Amino acid sequence: MDDLVKSNLVPEADKRPHAAVGTHAARVVAVKSWLKRHVIFALTVLVPTLCATLYYGLIASDVYISESRFIVRNPAKPTTSTALGSLLQTTGIAHSQDDAYSVHDFILSRDALRELDEKLGIRKAYADRHIDIFARFPWFDRDTSFEAFYKYYGKHVTVEDDPESSISILTVRAYTAQDAYRINALLLDMSERLVNSMSERSRNDLIRFAEHEVKIAQDQARDASLALLAFRSKQSVFEPDKQAEIQLEGVAKLQEELISTEAKLAELRELSPSNPQLKALKGRADTLRAAIEAEGSKVAGGSRSLSVRASTFERLALESEFADKQLGMTLETLQTARNEAVRQQLYLDRLVQPNRQDEATEPRRIRSIFTVFLLGLIAWGVVSLIAAAVREHAD
């Protein structure tokens, strides 16, 4: 009875703390009970979403993106049939697809990374302590090798090709706007240097080969001309056909004179066998015969005859003519090569210069958190279905 009276005399305020403690304990018990019953939901949705919120909200570093656009063009090659391609062709910007791929490979190469690090020190830029631990180089494995940095570089520098217009899009991600801009600008300078080097080498190789052929043809033409000149000087043969024609005309005149002399000699023998002129006419006929034989041997028959020397002369003349024609062809080829070299000149035109952002565009924090939440819901649904199927099979 006394205890009942005392309890009724306790103030109401003294009972409230005990009630609050009881309510808090009940809530903790309720939360633990709910988590126990929904452990899959907590592990697949709540925990990843909470981690993503902490990372993207408090830890993740701002990422600045510098983007530029360029095209590798060749005036001699046609561009695509699209509207933009036609427009580029009318303005003299015909793309060279294979050469553009070469530029892409160079931008993503180890050589480009090595030069960037030598000139800009990008390894230090990406290893800055202000960058969050998950984005900074090196990764958690602490691998500081060049190959590890090359893999890291490939995730921050990308180059894509627009299939409609063949315009290349170079994108650089860095953790300061200045670093992203400087890397993008230097990559464009290096790519332009590469294109010029490729063009120069191709042009020089093409012209050098043609000039080498011209040099060979010139030497052959000179040697053939000198051989023909030496033969003419040594053999006293300049135009064998004309010289033989002149010799034959002389022989024909001598033969006519011999015929006339022999006719007179025969007539005189018949009319006056003792005439003293017979001896003179006979001597003249013998002289004419000897002259005819001598002049005839100059044209044909002897080792020094024109017919023998003409074959050698015609061979040398033919070689000289062929060498001259060959020289003319190689000179035309050289001119064609020079024209082709001009048409094969490559150009890297910057359609859009690298930009310098004044505000970070990545990471997209809210969207990333929401994406993690959605993926968690999907994982929760899949795991729940699997768990339910396992329980049903066990039952």
Q: What is the CATH number of the domain that holds 149?
A: 3.30.1890
Q: How many domains does the chain have?
A: 4
| Confidence (pLDDT) at 303 | 47
Residues 316 and 337 in one domain: yes
Residues 32 and 44 in one domain: no
| Confidence (pLDDT) at 210 | 77
Cα–Cα distance, 192 to 112 (Å, whole number) = 12
Residues 386 and 317 in one domain: no
| Confidence (pLDDT) at 88 | 42
Under a CB-based contact definition with an 8 Å cutoff, are residues 103 and 72 in contact? yes
Residues 22 and 116 in one domain: no
Per-residue pLDDT tens, the chain, 395 aa: give them.
444 444 444 454 444 555 555 576 666 666 566 556 667 787 888 888 888 888 888 888 889 999 999 988 776 654 444 444 444 444 444 446 677 888 999 999 999 999 999 999 999 999 888 888 888 888 776 788 899 999 999 999 999 988 777 789 999 999 999 999 999 999 999 999 988 888 777 777 777 777 788 888 888 888 877 776 776 666 556 555 555 555 555 556 666 666 776 676 666 666 666 666 666 667 766 676 666 555 555 555 554 555 555 666 667 777 777 888 887 888 787 777 776 666 667 778 888 899 988 888 888 888 888 898 899 889 888 888 887 787 777 76
Residues 244 and 304 in one domain: yes
Residues 69 and 136 in one domain: yes
Length reported for the chain: 395
Residues 141 and 200 in one domain: yes
Residues 9 and 120 in one domain: no
> How much is the pTM?
0.60
CATH code of residue 228: 1.10.287
Q: Give the range of the structural domain holding residue 26, as residue numbers without chain letter.
A: 1-37
At 348, list the tokens. Answer: 């890297």
| Confidence (pLDDT) at 152 | 92
Cα–Cα distance, 317 to 262 (Å, whole number) = 43
Residues 198 and 311 in one domain: no
At 161, list the tokens. Answer: 């090709």
Residues 375 and 291 in one domain: no
Residues 12 and 30 in one domain: yes
Residues 143 and 237 in one domain: no
The torsion of the CA quartet 212, 213, 219, 224, rounded to 10 degrees, works out to: 180
